[in-house]
Amino acid sequence: MKLILMLQQSTKRLTVNDIADKFNISRRTVFRDFNALSELNVPVTWDEYKGYKIMRGYSIPPLMFTTRELATIMVGLNFVKSQIDKTLVEDAEGVELKIKEVLPDKLKEFMESLKKRTVVDPYLNFGPEKKEGGNWYTISDAISQNKSITFHYRNKSNDKKSHRKIDPYLLVFYGDHWNVIGFSHKRTAIRNFVLDQMSDIKISDENFVPYGDIDAEALIYRSEETSRKIEVLVQSSALSRFEANLPAKIIKKEEEKSNLFRFAFTFDNLDFINEWLLQFPKTVKIIGPDELIEKRTRLLEEMMKKN
Q: What is the pLDDT of residues 104-155, one digit of tens each?
A: 788 888 888 888 787 777 766 676 777 776 788 889 889 888 999 999 999 8
Lowest mean pLDDT of 93-97, 122-126, 293-297, name the range: 122-126
Please state, in angstroms and rounded to a whole number, the distance separating the CA atoms of residues 242 and 7.
45
Q: Is the pLDDT of residue 252 over 70?
A: yes
The pLDDT of 8-31, averaged and rounded, is 87
The pLDDT of 269-297, averaged and rounded, is 92
User: Can you say whether the dihedral through the CA atoms of 198, 201, 203, 205 is positive or negative?
Assistant: negative
- Crossing angle for the helix pair 270-277 and 290-304, to the nearest 10 degrees: 60
- What number does CATH give the domain 228-304? 3.30.70
Q: Is the pLDDT of residue 25 over 80?
A: yes
Please state, in angstroms and rounded to a whole number, the distance separating the CA atoms of residues 84 and 189.
30
Task: Select the highest-mean-pLDDT range: 53-67, 184-198, 220-234.
Answer: 184-198
Q: Is the pLDDT of residue 62 over 60?
A: no
Q: Is the pLDDT of residue 212 over 70?
A: no
**167, 173, 163, 162: which is closest to 190 by C-alpha?**
167
pLDDT by residue (tens digit) across 175-202? Answer: 667 889 999 999 888 888 988 888 899 9
The pLDDT of 261-287, averaged and rounded, is 91
Q: What is the pTM of this model?
A: 0.61
- Give strand pairing partners of 233: 262, 285
- Give strand pairing partners of 199: 152
| Per-residue pLDDT band at 40 (split at 50, 70, 90) | confident
SS3 213: coil
Task: Select the highest-mean-pLDDT range: 57-71, 212-226, 267-281.
Answer: 267-281
Q: Is the pLDDT of residue 59 over 70?
A: no
% pLDDT > 90, the chain: 23
Annotated domain spans of the chain: 2-54, 67-125, 136-220, 228-304
User: In the prediction, which pLDDT does 196 show?
Assistant: 84
Q: Is the pLDDT of residue 291 over 80?
A: yes
Residue 196 is given by DSSP the state G
Residue 219 is given by DSSP the state H
Lowest mean pLDDT of 102-116, 141-155, 156-170, 280-294, name the range: 102-116
| Per-residue pLDDT band at 238 (split at 50, 70, 90) | very high
Q: Is the pLDDT of residue 63 over 60?
A: no
- What number does CATH give the domain 136-220? 2.30.30
Beta carbons of 302 and 250 less than 8 angstroms apart: no
CATH architecture, range 2-54: Orthogonal Bundle (1.10)
User: In the prediction, which pLDDT does 175 show?
Assistant: 64
